[in-house]
Structure 1
Amino acid sequence: MAMVMRSLHVALLVSDLERSLEFYRDVLELPIAPRSLNFPGYWLQVGEFQLHLMQAEAWQAPCPRPDKWGRNPHVALQVDDLSDFKDRLEAQGYPLQMSASGRAALFTQDPDGNIIELSQA
């Protein structure tokens, strides 16, 4: 019987590639991965997984549950020092919402409103 082996990537739409790259590369410190496609975008490496940023003009991510960001579409990333990421995000003015479950996790939004969960390893 055929089976799914692993997840390869998640693609996120962003309205401004360079602005989004600053968030993912400079704030979250994800390295850029090589890509050979000829449309605007960046591939970022997260272990064996990739996060693909693709241009979509005037994009704003939906957030139907603004009270609980974790109950909206989001990408979850495991981090080694949640406190450091929290401080870094706050210092740069990114919105934060701590996990309502009480676990060591927070939610933030990239410049286009895509929700990113950071969860302590």
Structure 2
Amino acid sequence: MQIVRALHTALLVSNLERAEYFYGTVLGLAKVERPLSFAGTWYQVADYQIHLISAEQCVDDRVDCERWGRNRHVAFAVTDVRAAKDQLLRHGHTIQMSASGRAALFTEDPDGNLIELSQM
């Protein structure tokens, strides 16, 4: 087997409208067509996609509540981590700066899915 590229990450969300606001408006991801019949939304990030799947409940499975980067998370590259921080705070989202000292931060979507934004 030879894996040649990553295609998408699927995240469970309990309120699709609220999640669409976070991913589409707060993070600014581009929504793309989704040819499936069950509830969800897809977003494009370069040649990669985020698939939101509507679920009745989402389980918080964090193993380290103090250091978000030590939990399951999705990471995105940003051009300016300070601008990302300002955008998230303007929209009322909690952030945690990376403990590594890198120009990176962690936030969470409305269902607690952790997102890393790392300056590249």
Give TM class, smaller chain. Answer: over 0.9
Aligned pair count? 120
| Normalised TM-score (structure 2) | 0.97
2:66 corresponds in structure 1 to: 67
Q: Conserved in 2, the CA contact under 8 Å of 1:15 and 1:60? A: no
Aligned equivalents of 1:110, 1:119: Cα separation in 2: 16
> 1:29 Cα deviation (Å)?
0.3
1:69 aligned partner, one-letter code: W
> 1:33 Cα deviation (Å)?
1.1
The SS at the match of 1:23 is: helix
1:21 corresponds in structure 2 to: 20
Aligned equivalents of 1:43, 1:75: Cα separation in 2: 15
1:103 corresponds in structure 2 to: 102
Aligned equivalents of 1:107, 1:21: Cα separation in 2: 19
Stretches of structure 2 lacking an aligned partner (at least 5 in a row): none
- The CA RMSD measured in Å over matched residues stands at 0.8
Structure 1 residues 50-89: Cα deviation after superposition (integer angstroms, max 9, x where no partner):
0000011121432221110000000000011111110011
Aligned equivalents of 1:92, 1:34: Cα separation in 2: 26
The SS at the match of 1:42 is: strand
Q: Could you tell which deviates more after superposition, 11-20 or 53-62?
A: 53-62
1:36 corresponds in structure 2 to: 35
2:60 aligned partner, one-letter code: A
2:107 aligned partner, one-letter code: T
Aligned equivalents of 1:46, 1:96: Cα separation in 2: 21
Aligned equivalents of 2:23, 2:61: Cα separation in 1: 19
Stretches of structure 1 lacking an aligned partner (at least 5 in a row): none
> 1:8 Cα deviation (Å)?
0.1
Aligned residues: percent identity? 52
2:97 aligned partner, one-letter code: M
| Normalised TM-score (structure 1) | 0.96
1:81 aligned partner, one-letter code: D
